[in-house]
Chains A and B, each alone.
Chain A
Amino acid sequence: MGNCVQQGTGAASGYLLETRGLTKIFGTLKACDHVDLKIRKGEIHSLLGENGAGKSTLVKMLFGSLEPYSGEILWNGQAVRITNPSAAKKLGIGMVFQHFSLFDALTAAENIALSLDRTTPIGTIAAKARDLSTTYGLPLDPGALVGDLSVGERQRIEIIRCLLQTPDLIILDEPTSVLTPQEADRLFETLERLRAEGKSILYISHRLEEVKRICDSATVMRHGKVVDHCDPRQETAASLARMMVGTEVKTAERTPHAAGIGAELLGVHGLTRKPAGPFSMPLKNIRLSVRSGEVLGIAGVAGNGQGEFFEALSGEVLQDKADMVRIGGTPVGRMDISARRRLGAAFVPEERLGHGAAPRMRLSENLLLSRHATDHKTFVGPAGLVRSGAVQATTQRIVADMDVRKSAPDPEAAALSGGNLQKFIIGRELDRKPDVMIVNQPTWGVDAGAAARIRQALIELARQGSAVLVISQDLDELFEISDAIAVIHNGELSEPIPIAEATFERIGLLMGGAEPGHAAAQRENA
């Protein structure tokens, strides 16, 4: 850790939390390698790093969910051992998890009750939660069932649950990845208020603009090691990105339309679907059209029907009427996935392992699984025997085209990092040169370098005359690659907004449901 900026040493120098040489090893992987972290009282400290840099492992050790292999943790200058989350809470460390640790079948108040110590009378919790929620401007209904709440509301429960324990250090793991811009603003106000009260906050994010906006200092991690310290307010987003990635990061470039926008390749007409389970979203009369040469982005807060919409388009769930979905003009509503693929469509689901790829199968086997139906002649020979040579050759071509980094010639899908597996899955579909490409969360949990490559590939596909539909919760991504953005809220889709007219604020309002039915009304008047 040669190039660390000196922040002062010594136990009694006012640090609330300090780690020295903290190391965690999983198998042969050093997830955290001699990590030194220092957090002052009353500061918002950012932990920056790409996915897989070791941020989550580090905070899990601070919160007692993981045991360090070596190294020590100092709390107010005293060496402590944090053996489990209860011990962390007793010290005064609270955590708001990235993947929420809430219970769907319980109410908000019950969820909060579970994390408080046993002496708190159960009857007073609802009232306490209500008080706190008004103090910090986090509206909350204690009696609501968590399974029914939006992701933003769930996060409020997590935060209130954390605040009720009056911690001195609050750890927030990627808190804004599921919020609308307006919800994020409200969160920042809460954080600033907490800082003013003298609390320390460890803020984990890969959104550099936010970090610049609210954090007082930052520790940058790469490949399990601390590589830099800085004051994010003195840096630019580009310089922060360089520290994180280690090299210059390219953003995707929206090339001009060479052949212009062509005919409609994907059409959705009055797509309606009843909710499948108690906590899932119905789809309400969705209409859209994606034309040749175009990238259409679908924004929305998680859990507003994106998953249901994707399932309906890909054919995992069939529609009531055949003409609810058209691919290349053919009504496909009653066709299964393979039939839709044969018509030139390609699908990349959100979940990589178990949905986009079979985790314990090799890359070549995963290729064959999804391609044998569409490219039967290429991959399957006489008497149904697999042409392994062709499968291997195609696998190698995809690996080379998409720059997939792997440890073995043909590893199991689960052995690849998230970013590399996603590059392979996207590459597998691109390799077919599909007419219609539908992607859900193309760069979720993918490092910046891989994400830029995937985005560029999607733009290029559209420019070669395909129709590309991208469902994403990452607004930056959608603004980077889309020609128009529509917003899904509560199972309803807004009218697409051309990129030239789209602003974060406008999209954000639609994501929060500020103009429900607005687009539909407009359509009826027209």
Chain B
Amino acid sequence: MDITVNILLTIATAATPLLIAAIGELVVERSGVLNLGVEGMMIMGAVAGFGVAFLTGSPWLGLLASVVAGAMFSLLFAVMTLSLATNQVATGLSLTLLGLGLSGMLGTSFVGQPGGRLPYLYIPGLSDIPVVGKLLFGQDPVFYLSIALVIAVSWFLFRTRTGLTLRSIGDNHASAHALGIPVIRYRYLAVMFGGACAGLAGGHLSLVYTPQWVENMAAGRGWIALALVVFASWRPLRVLAGAYIFGAVWIGQLHLQASGGISVPTQLLSALPYLATVVVLVLISRNKRLTLTNTPAALGQSFVPDR
């Protein structure tokens, strides 16, 4: 029983950074901006989070630092693509490359240092309930934040006026401009929200998942988050499902590999989470019409208002 609970707990821990980064990128893409720099923003969040926690001794300050670092790093992208109308794909890619290099340089003195870990939240009474108690009420704080984020983003996009405006910009920025909607301002805020989320996801990696600093520790999670957004056809709840399927198969195959009981090539097992996520999300996105009406039509296009 305890083993099952522990496995389920690790699944949540593995899924959380993907979920947070993906939900942030979902908001960015809904506004019509494609930021391929998620990996870079994530790693900047991770190094900033670890560094501040290490230097101040407070993992909470570390977490805050990772959010700020992600948002600031995305601001660079926003200035380039929104104010200077550079190509979004190229700028996003260079943001990732810059983030990987910069974080490696900033983090040299942190390698091998003991890190600070965010305390798990135990709600007295509730978390003592067998099985469910630990799963629902004994997780790390970022887990709760990630679930709250999914609900909040879903409500924001489909129930609020501002969310409607954001979606309209992603559908057709020229029309939005003609209606007098401040397209660039909305996009700046969306990009920075996405950056803050990616930073937070990075902070989760270096403060909760593996509380230490290792160069390139995001290990491609930013790219998985990006793919999740597309495969989830830009719907928050599907992103949640995708992140958890990925986490579950990921942890599952690790246990399989460790047990050594099955003679399947490890490469195949390592590929399994990616395969499973793609298959499941493709299956739930079979409704072509729904997918196409949710796809931001202006995605990746630069917007320069004619004055």
Interface residues of A (CB under 8 A from B): 64-67, 84-89, 97, 100-106, 110, 113-115, 118, 122, 145, 147, 277-278
CA distance A278 to B293 in the complex (A): 8
Contact B171 A103 (CB under 8 A): yes
User: Could you write out 18 A-B pairs with CB less than 8 Å apart?
Assistant: A65-B306, A67-B307, A84-B180, A85-B177, A85-B179, A97-B178, A101-B175, A101-B178, A102-B175, A103-B167, A103-B171, A103-B172, A105-B294, A105-B295, A106-B171, A115-B179, A147-B293, A278-B288
Closest to A66 in B: B307
Contact B161 A118 (CB under 8 A): yes
How many inter-chain contacts with C-beta < 8 Å in the A-B complex? 66
Contact A105 B297 (CB under 8 A): yes
CA distance A147 to B288 in the complex (A): 14
Chain B contacts for A86, CB-based, 8 A: 180
Chain A contacts for B230, CB-based, 8 A: none
Chain A contacts for B177, CB-based, 8 A: 65, 85
The SS class assigned to the B binding surface is helix
- Distance in angstroms from B295 CB to nearest chain A CB is 8
Q: Which 9 A-B pairs have the closest CB atoms?
A: A85-B180, A86-B180, A101-B175, A101-B178, A103-B171, A278-B292, A105-B293, A105-B171, A278-B289
Taking A66-B306, A113-B164 as contacts, is the C-beta distance between A104 and B172 under 8 angstroms? yes
Interface residues of B (CB under 8 A from A): 161, 164-165, 167-168, 171-172, 174-181, 288-289, 292-295, 297, 306-307
Chain B contacts for A118, CB-based, 8 A: 161
Closest to B167 in A: A106
CA distance A499 to B168 in the complex (A): 45
Which of B168, B174, B306 has the largest count of A CB atoms less than 10 A from its CB? B168
CA distance A66 to B305 in the complex (A): 9
Contact B161 A277 (CB under 8 A): no
CA distance A103 to B171 in the complex (A): 6
Closest to A277 in B: B292
- Distance in angstroms from A147 CB to nearest chain B CB is 7
Closest to B294 in A: A105
Closest to B179 in A: A115
Contact A101 B179 (CB under 8 A): yes
* Interchain CB contact (< 8 A) of A114 among B168, B294, B297: B168
Contact A89 B180 (CB under 8 A): yes
CA distance A100 to B164 in the complex (A): 19
Chain A contacts for B168, CB-based, 8 A: 103, 106, 110, 114
Contact A85 B178 (CB under 8 A): yes
CA distance A49 to B171 in the complex (A): 33
Closest to B307 in A: A67
Chain A contacts for B172, CB-based, 8 A: 101-104
CA distance A165 to B270 in the complex (A): 58
CA distance A226 to B288 in the complex (A): 51
CA distance A89 to B307 in the complex (A): 18
Chain B contacts for A115, CB-based, 8 A: 179
- Distance in angstroms from B247 CB to nearest chain A CB is 31
CA distance A67 to B174 in the complex (A): 16
* Interchain CB contact (< 8 A) of B171 among A85, A104, A277: A104
Closest to B175 in A: A101
Chain A contacts for B306, CB-based, 8 A: 65-66
- Distance in angstroms from A115 CB to nearest chain B CB is 5
Closest to B160 in A: A122
CA distance A86 to B306 in the complex (A): 16
Chain B contacts for A67, CB-based, 8 A: 307
CA distance A84 to B183 in the complex (A): 12
Chain A contacts for B292, CB-based, 8 A: 105, 277-278
Taking A101-B174, A278-B289 as contacts, is the C-beta distance between A110 and B164 under 8 angstroms? yes
